[in-house]
């Protein structure tokens, strides 16, 4: 199954995108082992996450889910993620909900990201071929935890969009607000526990 997917994927996307997908798959498997998720499923998700990337914008639009928000039409760079689930099901016969869901949110995130989703979201930027300075920071933050690394990647993406005056897809902001709310809750819990000591 994996060999068949790798063989087909190689003919679907550019060589550099293919190498990136292999590295994301390996990184996702490593993170899944570390954070207690299914490693082989994470590997498969990493392999497939950018498989719709080589489609034309018109083709991608055909695969978009009905919940895709109109504001997203100004951001074609995120089409491939939202087009991914239907494309993957059609091309590879994969119907596993957790795989399709993680692929769907790998570019923008959403407010109810589970650990399996977060692994792909982070692995996309922490894979060994990413050479920018922030990738090293993400790898370091991964030593602290998955939630911390997820927050770091989300912050990097949102900051980049703000700095470059680009549209921010609403679910990215929802994800950010939810993540900050969790942080505040955890800080309050810690403060209360300290008070009781
Ligand atoms: Fe992507
Ligand atoms: Fe990617």
Distance 51 CA to ligand 2 centre (A): 9
With a cut of 90, say whether residue 194 has pLDDT above it: no
Distance 25 CA to ligand 2 centre (A): 10
Range of the domain at 34: 2-196
Distance 116 CA to ligand 2 centre (A): 16
Average pLDDT in the 67-96 region? 95
The pLDDT assigned to 80 comes to 97
CB distance 122 to 154 below 8 Å: no
Q: What angle do CA 24, 10, 134 make, to 5 degrees?
A: 25
Distance 144 CA to ligand 1 centre (A): 25
- Would you mind telling me the total number of residues written for the chain in this entry? 197
The pLDDT assigned to 193 comes to 85
* pLDDT tier for residue 79 given thresholds of 50, 70 and 90: very high
Number of domains in the chain: 1
With a cut of 90, say whether residue 195 has pLDDT above it: no
Per mean pLDDT, which range of 73-77, 173-177, 192-196 is the poorest? Answer: 192-196
* pLDDT tier for residue 28 given thresholds of 50, 70 and 90: very high
Distance 81 CA to ligand 1 centre (A): 6
Which ligand places an atom closest to the C-alpha of 24?
2
With a cut of 80, say whether residue 87 has pLDDT above it: yes
Cα–Cα distance between 94 and 12 in angstroms, integer? Answer: 16
With a cut of 90, say whether residue 172 has pLDDT above it: yes
* pLDDT tier for residue 32 given thresholds of 50, 70 and 90: very high
How are the residues of the chain apportioned to helix, strand and coil, as percentages rounded to the nearest 5? 75, 0, 25
With a cut of 80, say whether residue 190 has pLDDT above it: yes
CATH number at 163 reads 1.10.3210.10
């Amino acid at each position: 199954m994996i060999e068949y997917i790798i063989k087909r994927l190689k003919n679907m996307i550019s060589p550099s995108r293919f190498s990136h997908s292999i590295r994301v798959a390996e990184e996702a498997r490593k993170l899944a082992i570390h954070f207690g998720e299914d490693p082989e499923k994470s590997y498969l998700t990493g392999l497939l996450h950018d498989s719709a990337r080589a489609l034309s914008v018109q083709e991608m639009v055909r695969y978009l889910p009905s919940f895709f928000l109109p504001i997203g039409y100004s951001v074609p760079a995120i089409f491939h993620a939202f087009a991914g689930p239907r494309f993957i099901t059609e091309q590879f016969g994969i119907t596993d909900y957790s795989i399709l869901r993680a692929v769907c949110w790998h570019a923008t995130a959403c407010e109810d990201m589970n650990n399996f989703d977060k692994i792909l979201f982070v692995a996309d930027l922490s894979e060994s071929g990413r050479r920018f300075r922030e990738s090293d920071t993400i790898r370091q933050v991964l030593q602290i935890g998955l939630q911390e690394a997820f927050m770091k990647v989300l912050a990097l993406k949102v900051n980049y969009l703000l700095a470059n005056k680009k549209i921010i897809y609403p679910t990215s902001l929802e994800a950010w607000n939810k993540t900050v709310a969790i942080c505040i809750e955890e800080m309050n819990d810690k403060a209360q526990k300290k008070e009781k000591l």
